[in-house]
Amino acid sequence: MSKGGLLSTLTKEVKRRKRQRKPSVLEQLIAGCSAERVSVHFVDGRALEGALLYNPIKRSGKLINIDKEFSIDFETIEVRTIKVLIGRVGPHDFPVLPGVSDSGSPLVSESPDDDDLEV
């Protein structure tokens, strides 16, 4: 193999490596989907907050902010880092209120008799 052929092969491999995102970004995207609110920092310098949806098969995602009423579609290659701001709250993280079941629905009390109802 000539020197020029080997050098061009190595150059192509280096260029391919530069285009690929770190696996940590992919892991952050997947983990960010389970968070309630994340901050996404893009390669172009933007930093946006909201809820994250990510499709690892298509390598695309959507950031939705209901407070500011916007959503943005993005590709994995555009993301620099993701920070979880608010984690997802589990059902047992809230105190149980009197008269409310664990599922959050009101407890059923005795139903009134038909005789007590006025027509």
What's 17-86's CATH class?
Answer: mainly beta
Nearest-angstrom CA–CA distance, 32 and 80: 13
pLDDT in tens, the chain (119 residues): 555 565 566 555 555 555 565 558 888 898 889 899 999 999 999 999 999 999 989 999 999 999 999 999 999 999 999 998 887 655 555 555 565 555 555 555 555 555 555 55
| Rounded Cα–Cα distance for residues 29 and 38 (Å) | 10
> Cβ(50)–Cβ(65) under 8 Å?
yes
Domain ranges within the chain, ordered by starting residue: 17-86
C-alpha to C-alpha distance for 40 and 84, rounded to whole angstroms: 9
Are 76 and 29 contacting, i.e. CB atoms less than 8 angstroms apart? yes
Nearest to 77 by CA among 45, 47, 42, 101: 42
Indicate whether this model's pTM tops 0.85.
Answer: no
